[in-house]
Structure 1
C-alpha cells in the first residue's frame, strides 16, 4: 500500500524528485517509513526551502491512542492547477476529495511560512479527507511551486487578496454553491485566515486556527 501510494504521488512531481526517488530505490524498498536523511533530500529536490527541510524528524512520534490514517490519503491529489493573481504571479493550487462519498463541506487551507500545501500539510489533509471533507490549498507567493522570490512576501494584503480570489472562485462553481465553506490557517497564515474572515464574515461558515500568529509584539529600545 505504501509503495503504491508513493508511486501514484510521483506522477505529478518534478524530475528532481523522481531522480532522488530512483537514486534511493524508494519504490523497491521493503520497509517503511523512509529514513529522515532521505526525506530531507526529497524536500530539497522539491524546492520547499530549508525551513521545511530542517523540520523533518523533529516532530515527536504519534501516540498509539491517536488514529493513523493510510498514506493513500496523503499521497493522491484529486487535482492541481496554477492560478494567476492580480500581480501576474502563477500560484500553485491543489485539491483533495473523498473517493467514495460526495462531500458537503469545503475546507480551504493556508499553510505556514516557509511551507506549502501539497506536502507539508499532508497529514492534516489526510484526516480531513478521511472524514469526508473536500480540501483546497494554495501555495502562497514565493512558496513551493508558486512563482516569486522564495519566502518573500511584500504585503499580507496581497496574500489575503490571492486567497480570497482563488477560494471564492472555487466556491462559486455550480457544484459547490450549496456547500459549507470553512477556512483553516496554520501559524503565520492564521493571520491571513483572520483577515479573510473579517473581510467577509457572512460568506464563510467558520474558521479553524492552529497556533496562529494573531499579533506581533512591538519591541521597545
Structure 2
C-alpha cells in the first residue's frame, strides 16, 4: 500500500508517495528534497559504516581524524530519518507548519487527515462524544514546532461535582500528560484519555521533539533536558492561557514520560499538585558497569551531545517492544498503523540519554516528596514493577499511593483490554478527584 504525503519545500507544497516497507526512507530536506532510499542501499550504507567503525584506526591514519569523521557523518546522514535540520536545531518547516497547519492540523489535507479517515479505526477518533479536542503546533525555545493537544468537556454541566476545586466551568482539574518513548498523543490517547474529560478533568498533551508529528529526527532524543523543558514550558503556557482559574494541575507520565514527569515535578514543585506515574521508567533494572557506560559515552559522546554515531539505531533493546507493551493485540495493530511509527532499535544518543536520566533519577528517589500515585502491571516486561515499589517505599512523600495490577502489561492506558483500561483510569481519576476537593 502507498500513502501520499505533502511536504513544504521553498514555500510550496509537493506531493510524494511513500510505501509501507518499514525501512523505506523518510523524506528530508537538505538543499532540496532527497529521493526515497531503498532497502538495499540502506544495508550497503550500514555495512560501510560498520567497517569504518571497526577499522577506525586504519582510516584515521590514512585520511586523518577530521576527514574520517566527516565521511562517517556523510554516510550517517544518508540513512532514513537521520538528516539533521542544521546546527542551530531550528524547525524544518516552522513557518509553514504554524501558518498553514501542515500535516492535517486545522483541517488541511495531509497523511494524518487521510489516515484518520480510514473506516477501520475506532469510531471515537472521528466522534468525540461530548469532548472538544483542539490540536495545534507550539514553538519551543529552539524554534521547533511541537504538536500539542487539549481535551475539554463540551458542556459546562458538572453533575457529580461537589463544588470543590473547579473553575465554575465544570472543569475540576487539569492533567498534563508526558507520553512514552516512540509514542504520540495524536491517535489512541485521543480515545482512551477521554475518560478523564468525561469526569470533568481536562487533558493537555504534547509530542516531544522527534516523536509523532513534532519536528525533529524520528525517535532521536539528543538531550534529555529538551524533553523536560519543552513539556514544562508548554504545560505552564497552556494552563495559564486556557485554564487560568482551575486550581489543580497534575502531571501524568507513562514509561519514559514517567521520568520526564518526575524531573518536572522535582524542579517545579510549586507548579503542580501531584503526579500520576504509569509504569514509570525510573531506574534501569540491570545497570551496565561504569567502564561500559564510559566506553559507550566515548563512542556516542557525552550526555547532551551529538556526533557522527549518535543517530545510529543500533542500541540494544529487550526485544519486540510492541508485543511486550500491548496485551491487547488488536490495539497493538492499531498503534502500528500510524504514519509516524518508528520500527527500529533505539538510536545510540537516545539510549545514552535514557540511561543517564534513570541513573540520576534512581539516586534521588529518596528526596522525592511530591504527592503521587504509581500504577504498574505485574506482567510488565519493559519497566520492572519492582522499580515502582522502590519509588513508593523510598520516597519521602507523605501522600503516596501504589496500585499493582495482576496480569497487566506495560501499556496500561492504551494497550490493555477495555475492562483493564477502565480499572486503571478509575484509579487515576479517583486520586485526582480526591485531591481536587482539598
TM-score (norm 1): 0.68
Q: Secondary structure in 1 aligned to 2:209?
A: coil
Note the C-alpha offset of 1:123.
3.8
Aligned partners of 2:228 and 2:251: how far apart in 1? 12
Q: Does 1:133 align with 2:170?
A: no
Q: 2:135 is matched with which residue: 80, 92, 98?
A: 80
Q: Secondary structure in 1 aligned to 2:204?
A: strand
Aligned partners of 2:133 and 2:114: how far apart in 1? 24
Note the C-alpha offset of 1:172.
2.1
Cα deviation code 1:75-124 (max 9, x no counterpart): 96532221111111110111010111221211101111111112132343
The answer to whether the 8 Å contact 1:111/1:121 transfers is no
Aligned partners of 2:268 and 2:181: how far apart in 1? 24
Structure 1 counterpart of 2:258: 190
Structure 2 counterpart of 1:15: 110
Aligned partners of 2:130 and 2:171: how far apart in 1? 19
Q: 1:204 is matched with which residue: 268, 272, 286?
A: 272
Aligned partners of 1:120 and 1:15: how far apart in 2? 19
Structure 1 counterpart of 2:144: 89
What's the C-alpha RMSD, in Å, of the aligned pairs?
Answer: 3.0
Q: Does 1:146 align with 2:214?
A: yes
Deviating 4+ runs (over 3 angstroms): 9-14, 17-22, 69-77
Aligned partners of 1:219 and 1:213: how far apart in 2? 16
- Of the structure 1 ranges 172-181 and 162-171, higher mean CA displacement relative to structure 2 is found in 172-181
Q: Secondary structure in 2 aligned to 1:78?
A: strand
The answer to whether the 8 Å contact 1:140/1:159 transfers is yes
Q: 2:228 is matched with which residue: 160, 171, 175?
A: 160
The answer to whether the 8 Å contact 1:74/1:123 transfers is no
Query: CA, structure 1 residues 158+21, in 2 after alignment: closer, same or farther (shift >3 Å)?
Result: closer
Query: CA, structure 1 residues 20+200, in 2 after alignment: closer, same or farther (shift >3 Å)?
Result: closer
Aligned partners of 1:79 and 1:155: how far apart in 2? 28
Q: Secondary structure in 2 aligned to 1:87?
A: coil
Query: CA, structure 1 residues 201+11, in 2 after alignment: closer, same or farther (shift >3 Å)?
Result: closer
Note the C-alpha offset of 1:219.
1.5
Query: CA, structure 1 residues 20+100, in 2 after alignment: closer, same or farther (shift >3 Å)?
Result: closer
Aligned partners of 1:20 and 1:89: how far apart in 2? 24
Query: CA, structure 1 residues 174+131, in 2 after alignment: closer, same or farther (shift >3 Å)?
Result: closer
| Larger RCO (alpha carbons 8 Å, 6+ apart) | 1
Aligned partners of 1:111 and 1:174: how far apart in 2? 21
The answer to whether the 8 Å contact 1:181/1:204 transfers is yes
Q: Does 1:219 align with 2:274?
A: no
Cα deviation code 1:114-141 (max 9, x no counterpart): 1111213234311111111111100100
Aligned partners of 2:279 and 2:202: how far apart in 1? 22
Structure 1 counterpart of 2:153: 98
Note the C-alpha offset of 1:70.
6.3
TM-score (norm 2): 0.36
